[in-house]
A and B are shown apart, each in its own frame.
Chain A
Amino acid sequence: MVIESSLPLFAIFIPLLGSIAIPILRGKIEKYVNQFTVLITVLTFAMVLLMYPDIGRGNILEKSFNSGFSIGFLFQVDALGYFIGFISAFIWMLTSFYSIEYMANKGNLLRYNMFSLLSLAGMLGVVFTGNLFSLYLAFELLTVASYVLIIQEENSKAMRAGMIYLFMGIAGGLILLFSILATYAMAGTGDFTGLASKLSGSPLLHSLLPYVFWGYIIGFGVKAGLFPFHVWVPEAYSITPSPSSALFAGVMKKAGAYGILRAIYSIVGMDLLRGETMLTVLLVFSLISIFLGSAIAISQTELKKMLAYSSIAQIGYIVLGFALLTPRGATGGTLHILNHALTKSTLFLAAGSFIFKKGIVNIADLEGIGKKMPVTTACFTIAGLSMIGFPPFCGFISKWFLALGSLDVVNYGSYSFYVGVIALSTLMLSSFMNLVYYGPVIYKAWFGGENSDNPSLEYAVTDEESKIEDPSLYMLIPLIILTAGIVCFGIFPQFPVSFVQKIVDGFFSAGGCIVK
Chain B
Amino acid sequence: MNTPTLLLDGLPVPFSAGQTIMEAATAAGVFIPHLCHHPDFKPQGSCKLCTVKANGRYVSACTMPAKDGMEVENDSPDLNDKRRTLLQMLFVEGNHFCPSCEKSGDCLLQALAYELEMLTAHFAQFYPDRPVDASHPDVLLDFNRCILCELCVRASRDVDRKNVFALSGRGIGKHLIVNAESGRLADTGFSLADKAAHVCPVGVILAKRQGFLQPIGQRRYDRQPIAMQFASLPGSGGNGPEA
Whether A associates with B in a native complex is no
> What is B's interface to A at a CB cutoff of 8 Å?
none
